[in-house]
């Protein structure tokens, strides 16, 4: 009979244990000490990888429970994480926005990549490297991290837009760079040029086909998934789109992330993009965590210790060269000094794709294996300190331009608009009144047919399940001027009022109520205003009667307003009878808004 202590988990179960342990235990511990999860995942990878505990499995079998000896097993999951990241970036864009960014992508992005690569190559040539080796290393190290930079930067800010444009060009240029390195290594540049042009031409045809097919097929697919009211089916449809688009572009020689980006752009043009992003968010975060684990696993601390001075010097030179080139280019193209400073430092570290280019350079004979290992460690170190570079960039940007509110204030239409939850007759009537007074709004509804009908009628409407805890945050609830709950579901409205008041203590929340008793309950839950249907119907009926029997309109309106205020005061008083005395917001009271109680525990 086998001894239970001799049991060793299979590779897949052992890897899953380590990954979930890092995500569920170690990373929250880092967050408690205000250490970014990016650094946390990389340090965990360093600890459990083949140069850490994973290297001791042959001597201590029990370590297989808490280590990963073969990082290659995680590569598909890491690549999937980056694919999901580019898909989510596509969801935040649109073809119109991408067209507006064409100058940043194809001019600044190209100049940053090749200018930074040339400067690094010149330094390497001065240190004794050959031209081919220096160019290969320069192009590899000039790439910046899409996975980390776009996780840190807000793409709605000037810094985020500058970073996004540069990174998009680098992702597009990855395939030509790999072809170029192959041509430099084998010397058959004419044949490689033909292969490159063939790949790019076929890739362009595939992208056009995806755009045409996706514009027709994706709205139908997600409409059917939404009608089922099944989150599982909606998630399956989202993953299907990402995987199919990535496989199609990979099959013709392009990077899978190109297909993922195109799929994201197509879905961004539909009313389902926010819900898709919410569904895939947890998968993207966990898959990116796997990628960061593999980065940590690639660091051999023995080599780092033996060549510490060289590694630190090389990392510093790479960071300085890239920050200098990017900052100068952005400044020359009209960016403010603070924007150029922050973006330059944020984009200074090498990229996850640097590791791919280094591997291609070794295969082409341009770089020795030991040199590639050295630069892989430099890359891993640069990725590790990317969050610290972001902090440094913001600090320097504030010093350069004290007036620049560059990072925390998006400048798009999501600011100061009202969010209307429910797109039925009540929600659309509220939207019409907001339009009449020139106030921005967005209707959110979970009924795909209602969304389509509202859009046909000209109402700004998005598909989304507002009952999800994070849904309204994705629609910009933090910057919203108010949230109006118009659904005919008292239980759901009360639950949402509690959630919103807990998340946004100062947010005006106006809720629809069935009667006075329901309105009192909504006030207790934290509503700023609760409007009973029965009360409003009675007041409108009274107004019609009084006018019809000859009472002047002015006194009628005055008496209706007076009676409405009287009933509202009574309802709020009733709402306070069954609760313990609670503190009130003096700020809201001072602005004439009925005070709302603190959220109940």
Interval 575-601: pLDDT, tens: 553 443 333 333 333 333 344 333 333
What are 461's strand-pairing partners?
A: 443
Residue 52's CB: how many other CB atoms inside 10 A?
22
pLDDT for 585 equals: 37
Per the CB < 8 A criterion, the answer to whether 435 and 441 are in contact is yes
CA dihedral sign of residues 422, 428, 430, 435? positive
Nearest-angstrom CA–CA distance, 163 and 157: 10
Give mean pLDDT, residues 182-210: 70
The number of angstroms, rounded, from the C-alpha of 559 to the middle of its chain's C-alpha atoms is 51
Mean pLDDT of the chain: 77
413 φ, ψ to 5°?
-70, -5
pLDDT for 14 equals: 66
Burial 391-404 (b: 16+ CB within 10 A, else e): ebbbeebbeebeeb
Four-CA torsion 74, 80, 84, 90, nearest 10 degrees: 140
pLDDT for 574 equals: 65
Nearest-angstrom CA–CA distance, 241 and 277: 13
> DSSP state, 593?
P
Residue 69's CB: how many other CB atoms inside 10 A?
21
pLDDT at 19 over 80: no
Give mean pLDDT, residues 508-517: 84
Closest by CA position to 590, among listed 519, 500, 502, 506:
506
The alpha-helical segments, DSSP class H, found in 416-549 are 425-436, 448-456, 471-474, 490-503, 516-525, 533-548
The pLDDT tens digits for 41-54 are 778 888 887 877 76
pLDDT at 451 over 80: yes
- Which secondary-structure segment (H or E) carries 330? helix 308-332
Q: Domain residue spans in the chain?
A: 4-69, 76-400, 418-590
Nearest-angstrom CA–CA distance, 367 and 187: 15
The pLDDT tens digits for 56-83 are 766 666 666 667 767 777 777 777 777 7
Higher-pLDDT residue of 94 and 371 is: 371
Give mean pLDDT, residues 310-337: 91
**Beta strands 461-463; 482-485: pairing state:** unpaired
pLDDT for 407 equals: 42
Q: What is the CATH number of domain 418-590?
A: 3.40.50.720
Give the CATH class of 76-400: mainly alpha
Higher-pLDDT residue of 532 and 345 is: 345
End-to-end CA distance of the chain: 54
pLDDT bracket for residue 345 (50, 70, 90): very high
The pLDDT tens digits for 223-279 are 888 888 777 888 888 888 888 888 888 888 777 877 887 888 888 877 787 778 777
pLDDT at 188 over 60: no
Q: What is the largest CA-CA distance in the chain?
A: 100
> DSSP state, 61?
G
pLDDT at 284 over 60: yes
Nearest-angstrom CA–CA distance, 204 and 253: 11
Nearest-angstrom CA–CA distance, 234 and 275: 9
Task: Kindly list the strands in the beta sheet with 441-445, ordered across the sheet, starting from the edge strand earlier in the chain.
Answer: 461-463, 441-445, 418-421, 482-485, 509-513, 529-532
Per the CB < 8 A criterion, the answer to whether 90 and 268 are in contact is yes
pLDDT for 195 equals: 67
């Amino acid at each position: 009979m086998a001894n239970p202590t001799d049991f060793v988990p299979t590779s897949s179960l052992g890897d899953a244990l380590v990954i979930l342990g890092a995500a569920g235990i170690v990373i929250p511990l880092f967050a408690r000490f205000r250490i970014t999860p990016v650094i946390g995942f990389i340090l965990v990878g360093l600890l459990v990888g083949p140069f850490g505990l994973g290297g001791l499995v042959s001597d201590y079998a029990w370590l297989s429970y808490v280590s990963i000896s073969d990082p290659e097993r995680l590569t598909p999951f890491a690549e999937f994480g980056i694919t999901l990241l580019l898909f989510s970036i596509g969801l935040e864009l649109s073809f119109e926005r991408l067209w507006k960014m064409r100058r940043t992508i194809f001019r600044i992005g190209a100049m940053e990549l090749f200018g930074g690569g040339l400067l690094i190559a010149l330094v390497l040539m001065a240190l004794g490297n050959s031209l081919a080796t220096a160019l290969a290393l320069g192009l590899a190290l000039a790439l910046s991290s899409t996975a980390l930079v776009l996780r840190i930067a807000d793409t709605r800010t000037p810094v985020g837009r500058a970073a996004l444009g540069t990174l998009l060009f680098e992702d597009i240029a990855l395939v030509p760079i790999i072809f170029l390195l192959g041509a430099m290594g084998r010397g058959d540049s004419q044949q490689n040029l033909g292969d490159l042009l063939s790949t790019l031409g076929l890739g362009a045809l595939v992208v056009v086909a995806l755009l045409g097919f996706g514009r027709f097929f994706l709205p139908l697919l997600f409409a059917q998934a939404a009608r089922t009211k099944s989150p599982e089916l909606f998630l399956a449809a989202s993953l299907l789109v990402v995987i199919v688009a990535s496989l199609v572009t990979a099959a013709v020689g392009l990077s899978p992330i190109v297909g993922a980006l195109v799929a994201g752009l197509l879905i961004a043009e539909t009313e389902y993009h926010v819900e898709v992003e919410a569904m895939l968010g947890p998968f993207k975060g966990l898959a990116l965590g796997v990628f960061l684990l593999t980065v940590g696993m690639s660091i051999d601390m023995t080599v780092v210790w033996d060549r510490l001075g060289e590694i630190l010097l090389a990392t510093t030179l790479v960071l300085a060269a890239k920050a200098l080139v990017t900052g100068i280019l952005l400044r020359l193209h009209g960016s403010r000094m603070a924007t150029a400073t922050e973006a330059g430092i944020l984009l200074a570290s090498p990229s996850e794709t640097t590791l791919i280019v280094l591997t291609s350079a070794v295969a082409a004979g341009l770089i020795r294996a030991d040199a590639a290992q050295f630069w892989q460690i430099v890359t891993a170190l640069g990725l590790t300190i990317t969050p610290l570079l972001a902090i440094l960039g913001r600090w320097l940007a504030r010093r350069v331009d004290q007036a620049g509110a560059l990072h925390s204030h998006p400048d798009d239409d999501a600011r100061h608009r009202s969010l209307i939850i429910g797109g039925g007759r009540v929600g659309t009537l509220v939207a019409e009144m907001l339009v009449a007074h020139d106030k921005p709004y967005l209707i959110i509804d979970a009924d795909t047919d209602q969304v389509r009908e509202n859009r046909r009628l000209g109402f700004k409407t998005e598909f989304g399940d507002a009952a999800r805890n994070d849904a309204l945050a994705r629609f910009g609830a933090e910057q919203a001027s108010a949230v109006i709950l118009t659904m005919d579901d008292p239980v759901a409205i009360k639950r949402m009022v509690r959630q919103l008041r807990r998340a946004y203590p100062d947010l005006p929340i106006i809720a629809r109520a069935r009667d006075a008793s329901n309105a009192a309950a909504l006030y207790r839950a934290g509503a700023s205003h609760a409007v009973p249907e029965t009360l409003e119907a009675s007041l409108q009926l009274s107004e019609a009667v009084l006018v019809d029997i000859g009472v002047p309109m002015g006194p009628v309106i005055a008496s209706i307003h007076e009676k409405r205020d009287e009933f509202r005061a009574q309802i709020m008083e009733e709402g306070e009878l069954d609760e313990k005395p609670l503190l009130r917001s003096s700020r809201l009271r001072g602005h004439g808004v009925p005070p709302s109680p603190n959220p109940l525990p």
